[in-house]
């Protein structure tokens, strides 16, 4: 159940709160209660937000993905102060985050991001519409000399029933003084070089997605197995990009067994049918291969049915099958208001 009360204090100030109450009858998806509270102030020069809030979604959601959906693994919230304004039809945003692990994050957003209303008006009238931009962050931590920058470019083109959307990301930097379990051992610097991206094409009821996330030669994937992607002092490069856990191109292999998309290239055709505005049916097939690791990946086929039943009550069912290696069926019931 999701609760999102909102209070307006005059015309310029809003106060938001959000809480997700989750219960599971099996499986690893339930992660307790996600809560947040933040204020939004409208000023003559832009919008100021402060508090614990869901991260804004960027592009396809490869990196900045707030979750909150029926089958999402988490709701990503941050302690943030941000400022957003509009210049020449483009959004300009600045934000600063603080975290309990000592990492400070500065974020810059710049782009032309049409609203859903602008998009529907353009496509309904037979016109095309573009969206594009750059989302970038810089993360630092003083105790180990961490300094890592990330640049995420996004583009979307729509006309009629055609949508073409792409996102590409690169992260680079270093950890100058990695912390060692043994204080007498001084570890060499760790260098970060990671990249990935995805391309989606959708026309009428047919969709195709292709993407990749870079891997690493170090043992493990650095996701569910808890192993780091460095093997000091021999291996000083951290090159596996881990896609946001709420971004999913399959239901079993990466979501359940590996934990997140990393060290993989994938191709995913799909068919979507929407008999009415409340019912959505989708079938898909995913083929994937590793970029660095040697373990074999299995093709996966699946389907989803989602029904917006009544006043925020949502029902969803998913089925997925590893070709030659097991299947899973999941069901979700949620009330969103």
- Look at 137 and 14; give whichever has higher pLDDT: 137
pTM, two decimal places: 0.87
141 pairs with which residues across the strands? Answer: 146
Percent of the chain with pLDDT over 70: 91
pLDDT at 136 over 90: yes
pLDDT digit string (tens) for 147-162?
Answer: 999 999 999 999 989 9
Whole-number pLDDT of residue 165: 97
Section 66-83 average pLDDT: 81
CA 120, CA 159: separation in Å to the nearest integer? 10
Highest mean pLDDT among 1-5, 184-188, 291-295, 296-300: 296-300
Whole-number pLDDT of residue 296: 81
CA 41, CA 14: separation in Å to the nearest integer? 6
> What band does 41 get if pLDDT is binned at 50, 70 and 90?
very high
Whole-number pLDDT of residue 304: 92
> What band does 225 get if pLDDT is binned at 50, 70 and 90?
low
Q: Is the dihedral of CA 33, 38, 9, 113 positive or negative?
A: negative
**Tokens 């032309």 — which residue?**
112
Q: Do 166 and 200 touch, CB atoms closer than 8 A?
A: yes
Measured between its terminal Cα atoms, the distance across the chain in Å is 8
Question: To the nearest whole number, what is the mean pLDDT of the chain?
Answer: 86
CA 195, CA 58: separation in Å to the nearest integer? 16
Whole-number pLDDT of residue 26: 59
pLDDT at 163 over 90: yes
Percent of the chain with pLDDT over 90: 47
Widest Cα–Cα separation across the chain: 69
CA 313, CA 1: separation in Å to the nearest integer? 9
46-54/77-87 β-pairing: antiparallel
pLDDT at 131 over 90: yes
Structural tokens at position 167: 């996102």
CA 200, CA 44: separation in Å to the nearest integer? 38
pLDDT digit string (tens) for 205-222?
Answer: 999 999 999 998 887 787
The DSSP call for residue 116 is H
Section 197-205 average pLDDT: 95
Question: If one looks up domain 2-335 in CATH, what number appears?
Answer: 2.40.160.100
- Look at 37 and 163; give whichever has higher pLDDT: 163
Section 142-147 average pLDDT: 90
CA angle 179, 185, 187 (to 5 degrees): 55
Whole-number pLDDT of residue 260: 87
Query: DSSP states of 182-212 as a string?
Result: STTPPPPPEEEEEEEEEEEEEETTEEEEEEE
């Amino acid at each position: 159940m999701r609760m999102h009360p909102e209070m307006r204090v005059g015309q310029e100030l809003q106060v938001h709160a959000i809480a997700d109450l989750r219960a599971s009858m099996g499986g690893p998806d339930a992660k307790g209660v996600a809560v947040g509270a933040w204020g939004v102030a409208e000023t003559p020069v832009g919008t100021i937000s402060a508090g614990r809030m869901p991260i804004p979604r960027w592009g396809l959601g490869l990196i900045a993905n707030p979750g909150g959906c029926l089958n999402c693994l988490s709701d990503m919230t941050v302690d943030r102060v941000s400022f957003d304004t509009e210049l020449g039809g483009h959004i300009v945003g600045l934000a600063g985050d603080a975290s309990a692990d000592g990492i400070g994050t500065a974020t810059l957003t710049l782009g032309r991001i049409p609203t859903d209303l602008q998009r529907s008006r353009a496509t309904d009238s037979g016109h095309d519409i573009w969206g594009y931009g750059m989302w970038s962050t810089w993360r630092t931590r003083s105790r180990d000399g961490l300094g890592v920058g990330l640049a995420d470019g996004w583009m979307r083109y729509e006309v009629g029933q055609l949508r073409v959307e792409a996102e590409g990301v690169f992260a680079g930097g270093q950890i100058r003084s990695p912390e060692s379990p043994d204080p007498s051992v001084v570890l060499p610097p760790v260098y970060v070089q990671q990249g990935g991206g995805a391309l989606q094409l959708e026309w009428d009821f047919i969709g195709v997605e292709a993407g990749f996330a870079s891997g690493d030669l170090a043992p493990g994937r650095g996701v569910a197995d808890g192993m780091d992607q460095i093997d000091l002092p021999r291996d000083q490069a951290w090159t596996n990009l881990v896609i946001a856990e709420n971004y999913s191109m399959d239901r079993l292999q990466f979501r359940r067994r590996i934990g997140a998309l990393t060290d993989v290239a994938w191709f995913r055709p799909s068919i979507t049918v929407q008999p009415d505005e409340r019912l959505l049916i989708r079938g898909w097939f995913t083929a994937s291969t590793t970029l660095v690791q040697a373990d074999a990946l299995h093709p996966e086929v699946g389907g989803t049915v989602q029904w917006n039943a009544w006043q925020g009550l949502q029902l969803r069912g998913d089925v997925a099958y590893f070709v030659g290696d097991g299947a899973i069926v999941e069901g979700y019931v949620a009330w969103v208001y």
